Amino acid sequence: MNLFYEDVEVGATYTTPSHEITVADIADFCRLTRDFHPLHTDADYAKKAGFPGIIAHGLYGLALMEGLKTELKLYEETSIASLGWNDVRFKHAIVAGDTVYVEMDFTAKRESGSRPAGIITEAVRLCRADGTLLIEAEHISLIRKAP
């Protein structure tokens, strides 16, 4: 799609394809981040803590939100930089076996004074297939203006 700054419509909503969270996904994130807490590696431990099985790291969910958004290819050639994530809230645990998707809407946009680019704001939500909100956050990005 390759949205330029001018193409972004505040209020527009997008939904990504879904992704099933696997034990292997969680194990890969453990390995990459060196976070082997037993909630993420030991089903019995996680069950004793009140979960149905091992859970994904909250930061895995946040990273997955960005990855699923990227699959939409909204800014494949127009993205310059992520400027950060604000107001991240982990609402419910992500459990191995969950199928998830991302909903995002554009909530604001403004000119960037120093570049031929603009700053856009997205409300981003990771949801379970049944609609349960798992993570919500605000994402700010810098994207190119049309030539």
Predicted TM-score (pTM) of the model is: 0.93
Q: What is the rounded average pLDDT of the residues 26-49?
A: 97
pLDDT of residue 113: 79
User: Residue 62, exposed/middle/buried by CB under 10 A (0-12, 13-18, 19+)?
Assistant: middle
Q: How far apart are CA 43 and CA 45, in angstroms?
A: 5
Banded model confidence at residue 115, pLDDT cuts 50, 70, 90: confident
pLDDT of residue 123: 98
Residue 80 · residue 116 · CB < 8 Å:
no
Give the domains, in start order, of the chain with CATH numbers.
Answer: 5-20+57-144 (3.10.129.10)
114 pLDDT more than 80: no
pLDDT of residue 93: 97
User: Residue 103, exposed/middle/buried by CB under 10 A (0-12, 13-18, 19+)?
Assistant: middle
Kindly give the interhelix angle for 23-33 and 58-71, rounded to the nearest 10 degrees.
110
pLDDT of residue 60: 98
Of the chain, the percentage scoring pLDDT greater than 70 comes to 100
